[in-house]
Structure 1
Amino acid sequence: MGQDQDITSHSTNVEQHAAEVIQSSEERATKKKKWYFYLWDTLDKPKEERWFMFKLDAALLTFASLGYFIKYLDQMNINSAFVSGMKEDLGLYKNQLNYMQTCWTVGYVIGEIPSNIILTRFRPSRWIPIMELTWTVLTFCLSRADDAKTIYALRFFVGLAESSFYPGMQYIIGSWYRKEELAKRSCIFHTSGAIATMFSGYLMAGVYKLNGRHGYKGWQWLFLVDGIISLPVAIAGFFVLPDVPEISKPFYLTKEEVAFAQKRMQLEGREERKPYTKAKIWKILTSWHIYALTLLYVLFNNGNSGAQPVFAQYLKASKDPKYTVSQINTYPTTMNAVQVVTTLVYAWTSDTIFRGARWPPIVFGGLMNILCYVSLAIWDIPEGWRWACFILSGFGGGLSGLCMAWAHEICTYDNEERAIVVASMNEFAYVLQAWLPLIVWQQVDAPKYRKGFITASFLSAALIATAFTTRALHGREISKRRALRGEERYLGEDMIEHMAGKHSFGEGDQ
């Protein structure tokens, strides 16, 4: 009996301490922000919260970024291998590259929503690392593939295993961070994919020097080296992934810090995990959230050249001058470098200058896509501008984190809806990507890809229209909820609102 009282007393003390830290943080939030807040949000927080955030960022963001790095490395290596000898060695002279990408996409699409549903029921720190180990083993197997059919099968299962990671990690990130922190973390996570694409090009340029060593071609060494890089990251996930706050027990967070994390999410209106019911499923399927946000992400993901190595194919087709294998793999990384920089700029401006508004960078990225892809569709343009368009198309590739942050905020009141919507956004983006390249990004059209460039331009215009529509719907929803509750400044709304009215960091953008 006495032991039970001690446990209850300790639990109460933990909650009280967490509430005190939260109150201190909220008091600071209402004050004018210091200049260093705009560099990194934790610099303007109380000492205890700053230490908690440091540990969380160090573990969660590092693992998420490294995991996405290896995921994207293992996803995109097929393109680097294809232009570095695999095409000639395996006789891939038709649309086999498109089919390989489609097989990966089909596996990816099948696994996403089921995987995120699993994450709402089981421990993410077990499920996600297991899937990472699976796709690492399959990447090793790709080095031994000797025909297109074997690659098709392996790519399908790689996609199935990788389907757990991006939507799953976005769901976990959305379970730990508040509004003014969320876009930066989501976008930092997303940039690791662009960095991986860059690294894959440089890696292939370096690994190609191993061509012929121990009986392996240069492109086979790429798969082996990718697998070697992936293995330790997958194993680390079992130890550093913190699950979600309500079930979290990582070695690097104290009980007080876990309780503090739970209080932070309560202030965001972020619901904990609850059972699936018919009413819940019906509510999710009849809300505008899943349809508008899914369409937004579908248009972003497909409104660019995406997984197609259009720049590399252009360089490979060039006769005067003729580029080396190293140049073909490294020059296109300039586009990825632009994507990395602009992704971070979008995140910082969205969280600070735009006061939590997600739509301005999305609209800007869509406009840049239109400018670049319309120019490339014309094709008969100055050579310098053609290169500029290939490189500047990276402006439209860094919007994923913003779209996901927007989804977390819009769906904050229902944990299961948030998990399903995030997975649905990514899944249906790849549903379109599974067949669209077979029509508009055909390998036989390289390097001009006129149909693809025109399609990307129209999808980017639709992205802009959908962003404005989502903004209007969310603003109206917030206004209705406030009217129903009869409160001028309901705290929960102030913390999640990003498109309408005022919030604790200043005027909104309505």
Structure 2
Amino acid sequence: MAEEKKAVDVDAHVTDSGSEEAAAPSSIIKETPQKKWTSYLWDTFDKSPEERRFLFKLDAAILTFASLGYFIKYLDQTNINNAFVSGMKEDLNLYGDQLNYMTTAWTVGYVIGEIPSNILLTRIRPSIWIPACELIWTVLTMCLSRCNTASQIYALRFFVGLAESGFYPGMQYVIGSWYRKDELAKRSCIFHTSSGLGTMFSGYLMAAVYHLEGKGGLRGWQWLFIIDGVISLPVALAGFFVLPDVPEISRVWYLSEQEREFGKKRMELEGREQRKPYTVAKIKKIMTSWHIYLLSLVYICFNNGAAAAPIFAQFLKDSKHPKYSVSQINAYPTGTSAVQVVSTLVYAWVSDAVLNGRRWPPIVFGAIINIICYVSLAVWDIPNGWKWACYYICGCGYGLSGLIMAWGHEICNDDNEERAIVIASMNEMAYVVQAWLPLIVWQQVDAPQYQKGFITVSCLSVVLIISTFAVRFLWKREKLRYVARYRD
């Protein structure tokens, strides 16, 4: 039985091989693969050729679609700001708080859609729902290029956020439905790094697109939204053919029947439950468990402790000695995103390969780096070189999303519907806080010495450490109680 495969130790799965192992050839799927030194480079090297081929197909399909899609989403989130300062403000007479309202409209749509979208994913095929939302997002984004008033943009941004809301938590759910503990963090983190790349690429794209100014009677900022849609369209269409759904209902063309059975067997060995109907008892169990509340708190603290790229630019713009050019002000902060990308991948490899699936040490490390950096910036009267260093190395605190999501999958292993709802709740609640907190602690009048913001991030990082240890303690206690009941 799948429940008998649950992990006993708080940080690593300890399973019982039993008769289930005999259902699949041991040469193909091993309950605990024997580690080779090459597995520290990439986890498929310690697996059989058949399973390695299976994972290669999954990686090529899921990670390519997920990363490209998320890259484009972050490109769009950044491009609304680029469009605003590249002609849209003047063309549409946006001289008030319209940009803030555009961001708020997007956030409201995004927050409203996340949990319902992931609930639908447990009833509808992901290969239909996620690409359909992506296709709607593509059309709406291109429509932004034809807006003539702020009100039109508000309405479209709301629906863009609504269409986008299912992508990140939905793809995290799909990733968590196919990969085992020693594989999960790497895939989740590779997926997340595309957000940093999207942020970095946005400025470069605006510079390139601006050369289209006047072509076809359109302004450069209008071409920006059109090109966002043009990039997204083939990705959305590809999703209908390459997303493998989840193992128990997969019908994708590139997996053989035997490989689909591999997928089911692998999830059985992890104790990851298949889809089941929603019941009153299930909903009550989800809403009364600590999982949804404490994991959401962990993600809120992480997600709202990242603000260095825009405040770094403000610091550079305010600097008098030397005076930085516009291109330098836009280029230098991208180094923080580069640190984010590198640290994200380092955390994933260390967690999966070196720490045997332990998620909490990198989370605590990232929070400590944040505390060091933001406490230093709160003091402000520090050497200029250290100030620069803080703006860069605080990117280490941004790279924890995939790791926390992987932890959420593992903690909610034995209930597919809880796993879908908790993953969506984590991301949604982080955005709920993000919708109002910056308006209080990152006020433009304080630039570049955002002391309230620096102190807030430091406090959130302390809460992140405390809540991380609380999750670890409660998960350990939960597993020990399960073992005691099973033995009795």
The TM-score normalised by the length of structure 2 is: 0.91
Residue equivalent to 2:15: none
Cα drift, residue 133 of structure 1: 1.2
| C-alpha distance in structure 1 between counterparts of 2:450 and 2:248, whole Å | 49
The 1:115–1:333 alpha-carbon spacing in structure 2 relative to 1, beyond 3 Å, is same
Contact 1:18 1:260 in 2 (8 A): no
Are residue 186 (structure 1) and residue 212 (structure 2) matched?
no
Cα drift, residue 225 of structure 1: 1.8
Instruction: Name the amino acid aligned to 2:113.
Output: G
Q: 1:26 aligns with which of 30, 40, 51?
A: 30
| C-alpha distance in structure 2 between counterparts of 1:316 and 1:214, whole Å | 35
| C-alpha distance in structure 2 between counterparts of 1:35 and 1:62, whole Å | 26
| C-alpha distance in structure 2 between counterparts of 1:323 and 1:138, whole Å | 37
Contact 2:28 2:51 in 1 (8 A): no
Listed one character per residue, the Cα deviations across residues 327-353 of structure 1 (whole Å, up to 9, x for unaligned) are 333322111111000000000000111
* Further displaced range: 97-106 or 392-401: 97-106
Residue equivalent to 2:173: 171
Listed one character per residue, the Cα deviations across residues 457-502 of structure 1 (whole Å, up to 9, x for unaligned) are 1111111111111011111111111111129xxxxxxxxxxxxxxx
| C-alpha distance in structure 2 between counterparts of 1:224 and 1:290, whole Å | 38
Residue equivalent to 1:58: 60
Residue equivalent to 1:311: 312
Instruction: Name the amino acid aligned to 1:453.
Output: F
Are residue 330 (structure 1) and residue 331 (structure 2) matched?
yes
Are residue 219 (structure 1) and residue 221 (structure 2) matched?
yes
| C-alpha distance in structure 2 between counterparts of 1:167 and 1:366, whole Å | 23
Q: 1:231 aligns with which of 230, 233, 246?
A: 233
- RMSD of the TM alignment (CA)? 2.2
Residue equivalent to 2:381: 380
The 1:101–1:27 alpha-carbon spacing in structure 2 relative to 1, beyond 3 Å, is closer
| C-alpha distance in structure 2 between counterparts of 1:443 and 1:96, whole Å | 15
The 1:324–1:225 alpha-carbon spacing in structure 2 relative to 1, beyond 3 Å, is farther
Contact 2:275 2:416 in 1 (8 A): yes
Residue equivalent to 1:79: 81
Instruction: Name the amino acid aligned to 1:377.
Output: A
Contact 1:183 1:401 in 2 (8 A): yes
Cα drift, residue 363 of structure 1: 0.6
Listed one character per residue, the Cα deviations across residues 114-164 of structure 1 (whole Å, up to 9, x for unaligned) are 000000001111111111111112221222334433332222111111100
Residue equivalent to 1:399: 400
Residue equivalent to 2:470: 469
SS at match of 2:241: helix
Residue equivalent to 2:152: 150
Cα drift, residue 224 of structure 1: 2.1
Residue equivalent to 1:68: 70
Instruction: Name the amino acid aligned to 1:447.
Output: P
| C-alpha distance in structure 2 between counterparts of 1:443 and 1:107, whole Å | 25
* Further displaced range: 348-357 or 19-28: 19-28
| C-alpha distance in structure 1 between counterparts of 2:81 and 2:473, whole Å | 40
Contact 1:132 1:161 in 2 (8 A): yes
| C-alpha distance in structure 1 between counterparts of 2:471 and 2:436, whole Å | 26
Listed one character per residue, the Cα deviations across residues 384-403 of structure 1 (whole Å, up to 9, x for unaligned) are 33222222221111101011
Contact 2:368 2:461 in 1 (8 A): yes
Are residue 359 (structure 1) and residue 363 (structure 2) matched?
no
* Further displaced range: 384-393 or 79-88: 79-88
Instruction: Name the amino acid aligned to 1:294.
Output: S
* Further displaced range: 474-483 or 160-169: 474-483
Contact 1:107 1:160 in 2 (8 A): yes
The 1:101–1:188 alpha-carbon spacing in structure 2 relative to 1, beyond 3 Å, is same
Are residue 350 (structure 1) and residue 351 (structure 2) matched?
yes
Contact 1:21 1:49 in 2 (8 A): no
Residue equivalent to 1:128: 130
| C-alpha distance in structure 1 between counterparts of 2:443 and 2:477, whole Å | 42
Residue equivalent to 2:370: 369
Cα drift, residue 447 of structure 1: 3.2
SS at match of 1:398: coil
Residue equivalent to 2:11: none
| C-alpha distance in structure 2 between counterparts of 1:291 and 1:40, whole Å | 33
Give the number of equivalent residue pairs. 470
Listed one character per residue, the Cα deviations across residues 240-262 of structure 1 (whole Å, up to 9, x for unaligned) are 01100111010100011001110
Contact 1:116 1:167 in 2 (8 A): yes
The 1:34–1:391 alpha-carbon spacing in structure 2 relative to 1, beyond 3 Å, is same
Contact 1:90 1:148 in 2 (8 A): yes
Cα drift, residue 456 of structure 1: 1.3
The 1:81–1:446 alpha-carbon spacing in structure 2 relative to 1, beyond 3 Å, is farther
SS at match of 2:30: helix
Cα drift, residue 96 of structure 1: 3.5
The TM-score normalised by the length of structure 1 is: 0.87
* Further displaced range: 150-159 or 371-380: 371-380
Listed one character per residue, the Cα deviations across residues 226-285 of structure 1 (whole Å, up to 9, x for unaligned) are 221111111111110110011101010001100111011011111110000000000111
Cα drift, residue 373 of structure 1: 1.8
| C-alpha distance in structure 2 between counterparts of 1:375 and 1:97, whole Å | 31
The 1:221–1:37 alpha-carbon spacing in structure 2 relative to 1, beyond 3 Å, is same
Residue equivalent to 2:281: 279
Q: 1:200 aligns with which of 194, 199, 202?
A: 202
Q: 1:112 aligns with which of 111, 114, 120?
A: 114
Contact 1:205 1:325 in 2 (8 A): no
| C-alpha distance in structure 2 between counterparts of 1:316 and 1:220, whole Å | 27
Instruction: Name the amino acid aligned to 2:141.
Output: T
Instruction: Name the amino acid aligned to 2:355.
Output: F
Residue equivalent to 1:254: 256
Listed one character per residue, the Cα deviations across residues 415-468 of structure 1 (whole Å, up to 9, x for unaligned) are 000000001101111111111122222334333333222211111111111111
Residue equivalent to 2:10: none
The 1:424–1:410 alpha-carbon spacing in structure 2 relative to 1, beyond 3 Å, is same
| C-alpha distance in structure 1 between counterparts of 2:209 and 2:168, whole Å | 27
Cα drift, residue 313 of structure 1: 3.5
SS at match of 1:143: helix
Contact 1:139 1:223 in 2 (8 A): yes
| C-alpha distance in structure 2 between counterparts of 1:364 and 1:476, whole Å | 24
| C-alpha distance in structure 1 between counterparts of 2:42 and 2:124, whole Å | 33
SS at match of 2:146: coil
Instruction: Name the amino acid aligned to 1:39.
Output: L
Identity percentage of aligned residues: 70
Contact 1:300 1:400 in 2 (8 A): yes
The 1:337–1:182 alpha-carbon spacing in structure 2 relative to 1, beyond 3 Å, is same
Instruction: Name the amino acid aligned to 2:179.
Output: Y
| C-alpha distance in structure 2 between counterparts of 1:88 and 1:453, whole Å | 33
Instruction: Name the amino acid aligned to 1:440.
Output: V
Residue equivalent to 2:297: 295
